[in-house]
Each structure stands twice: as C-alpha cells, then as structure tokens.
Amino acid sequence: MPHQNPLVQSLLELSDAIEQLATTIARQKNSDQQIQQKQLSVITQKFKHATQLIHPATQQDNAALIQQKYQNGFLKEHLDNQGIFISTTIENLRADENLYKAVDYLQDHYTLLKDFYAHLKRSQVLKKDFNHKNTAHAIRYIQDWCKILHHYKIIDGFKVLNHSEIFVDIAQIAEATSFINGYWLEVLLRREIALFLHAHLSQIQSFDILSQTTVLKQDNTNTELDLLLMINQKVYWFECKSGQINNYFERFKDTKEDLGISDNRAFLVIPAQDNNIPLHAKKRSNMLTLFGTELETQLKKHLDL
C-alpha cells in the first residue's frame, strides 16, 4: 500500500469498523433486548480491533477515496488570506486510543459523573488528593470510571470507603492534568468528526482538517484553535470548554471575526446540556453550542452537506 498521510491514516482507524459495530450491536440486541449504554460503550472500544480485521483491499479503496477528497492546504490558505500565521498545528484527528475508553464512559454517564468530575478537576489543579461523597448509585459509576482512569494512569489510585464515599489519589503527570482539565472533550470531538466524515464520505467532495492550531493574528497576539474543519469548501471552527467560560465570550467573538467564519459555522462544545451557556454564546460570541453527550446528532444537523 502506498504511503498515506497522517489524516488518511487516522480516518482509516475508524473506516468500515462502523458497519461491523452496527452488526455487533444488532446481534447483541437480538440476544438481549435490555442492552445498556454501558455495554454499548464497551462495544465502541472494538473500533480499532475491527478495523484491523478488514480486508486489505477494502482499506486500500477507502484510503484512495479519502486521499482523493482530502484537500490538504485549504485551511492554511484560508487563514493566510485572513492575515493569520500558523505557528504549530496537527493535520490529523489522531488521539491516544487508550483515552477513548475513559472518554466514552464519561460521555455515556455524564449526568452521574459530573459532580465527581468537577471535584476531580478542582483537586487536579490543586494537586491534592480528595474524598468525594455521592449517592450509592452514583458511587458505583464513579468507581467504574476510576478503574479506567487508574488503568490509564490518569489518577494514581482510588479506594471506595463506603457505599457513598470514595478516595482518589491524584496523578502528578502533565498528561493527567491536561486530560482532566478538558482535553477529553477535544478527543471526543475528534472522534465524532472522524466518524461523521466516514459515514458521509459519499456526500463529501472535499475536506481539510487542522487541530490544536496555534496562530499569530494580525494584532500580534497568539491564540489556539481547537479544531478547524472544511467540508465542501465551507469552513467550520470548534472550541471545546469544560469549565467556566464567561471570560472567553468576547475573545471568541473577536477570533470568529478574525477567522472570517460565517454565522452558524462557529461552535462552542461543552460537556452536556446547559440552559444558560447557549444563550450567552449566541448573544456574545455569535456561536452555536454543541453538547458532548449529543455530538453525533448535532453534527449531522449543523454540518451542511
């Protein structure tokens, strides 16, 4: 197989595995009509393995099709036309696959985990171990998530003290801090974008992607753009925020104007539904708000094909 660029490789990691996933889910439903979200989350971890089982010819066909439609350089040229210089960027959607399980579980059970996640985030900033109290029902899900976090070294350890309290030993490594502070939401967005591109490849004539892009604007200030996406010559901008964002609205408004992004193509991605943030984002930044727990549905709604 000829050499592939990083974006093609990252998309192929999900290519055709979606169909195998659907088959797996259908079989599971036939044997157990009460399938749980938790089970579906486990099934999604088979993406990588399933892709590896695909016939090489199929991967070659997909690679050729993706390569044909990948218009590398479009977004760089778009930024250049706006007088914006790229300092650093990543031209693919790849993320550490070990993080997907932690991301999946948080996405699937965010309502039950959100109070613990907020506590974990505060404590990670302070580099301080903590005890967390919650309902017995929530603690069971928190314990399961902690097992995943510990396995991938995002926390150093944990111990369930009783039916309503858990102790967490904070990890000191920078990667753990980054993930907990919000990188998990970027990982989720990248994966959902990759899945969207694969699922709608027949409707896409051209695309380009830049993620984690640091740019120098005309006023000589630097800013980081979480993800830029071009589909069929239309440019979309995504910013992920998992914490307080009141101080960012004006900055987002200025950045949107600097980027030359059209209305309804600038998105603020937050973990879950919120009654206030979408109103402020629209009024103060002219951005639409997407929820991490509903990304698949919302991307289908807002990305024009």
Please state, in angstroms and rounded to a whole number, the distance separating the CA atoms of residues 282 and 286: 4
**φ, ψ for residue 33 (rounded to 5)?**
-70, -10
- pTM surpassing 0.75? yes
Q: What is the pLDDT of residue 9?
A: 63
pLDDT tens-place values along the chain, 305 residues long? 455 566 666 666 554 444 444 444 444 444 444 434 443 343 344 344 434 444 455 556 677 888 889 999 999 999 999 999 999 988 777 767 778 889 999 999 999 999 999 999 999 999 999 999 999 999 999 999 999 999 999 999 999 999 999 999 999 899 899 999 999 999 999 989 988 998 898 899 999 999 999 999 888 889 999 999 999 999 999 999 998 898 999 999 999 999 999 889 999 999 999 989 999 999 999 999 999 999 999 999 999 88
Q: What is the pLDDT of residue 228?
A: 96
In 3D, which of 218, 188, 193 has the Cα closest to residue 208?
Answer: 193
Please state, in angstroms and rounded to a whole number, the distance separating the CA atoms of residues 113 and 133: 12
Cα 285 to chain centroid distance, Å, stands at: 21
**Which distant-in-sequence residues (6+ apart) come within 8 Å of 199 by Cβ?**
18
In 3D, which of 289, 286, 295 has the Cα closest to residue 255?
Answer: 286
3-state SS assignment for residue 212: strand
Alpha helices in 13-55 (DSSP H): 17-31, 37-44, 47-52
Please state, in angstroms and rounded to a whole number, the distance separating the CA atoms of residues 190 and 205: 20
Q: Are strands 266-270 and 288-291 parallel, antiparallel or unpaired?
A: parallel
Q: Are strands 130-133 and 165-170 parallel, antiparallel or unpaired?
A: antiparallel
Q: What is the pLDDT of residue 30?
A: 46
Q: What is the pLDDT of residue 14?
A: 53
Q: What is the pLDDT of residue 226?
A: 95
Looking at CATH, the fold of the domain delimited by 97-177 is given as: Ribosomal Protein S8; Chain: A, domain 1 (3.30.1370)
Amino acid in position 71? Q
Count other C-beta atoms under 10 Å from residue 155's C-beta.
23
Please state, in angstroms and rounded to a whole number, the distance separating the CA atoms of residues 29 and 58: 27
Distance, first Cα to last Cα, the chain: 30
Q: Which two tokens stand for residue 113?
A: 């985990």
Cα 42 to chain centroid distance, Å, stands at: 17
Max CA separation in the chain (angstroms): 61
Q: Are 224 and 49 in contact (CB under 8 A)?
A: no
One-character DSSP codes across 124-185: HHHT--EEEE--HHHHHHHHHHHHHHHHTTSEEEEEEEETTEEEEEE--SHHHHHIIIIIHH
Please state, in angstroms and rounded to a whole number, the distance separating the CA atoms of residues 224 and 213: 5
Please state, in angstroms and rounded to a whole number, the distance separating the CA atoms of residues 71 and 79: 15
**Which distant-in-sequence residues (6+ apart) come within 8 Å of 134 by Cβ?**
115, 116, 142, 164, 165, 166
Cα 149 to chain centroid distance, Å, stands at: 17
What are the CA-CA distances from residue 59 to residues 9, 207, 211 (Å)? 10, 19, 24
Please state, in angstroms and rounded to a whole number, the distance separating the CA atoms of residues 28 and 34: 10
Q: What is the pLDDT of residue 4?
A: 58
Q: What is the pLDDT of residue 31?
A: 42
Amino acid in position 76? K
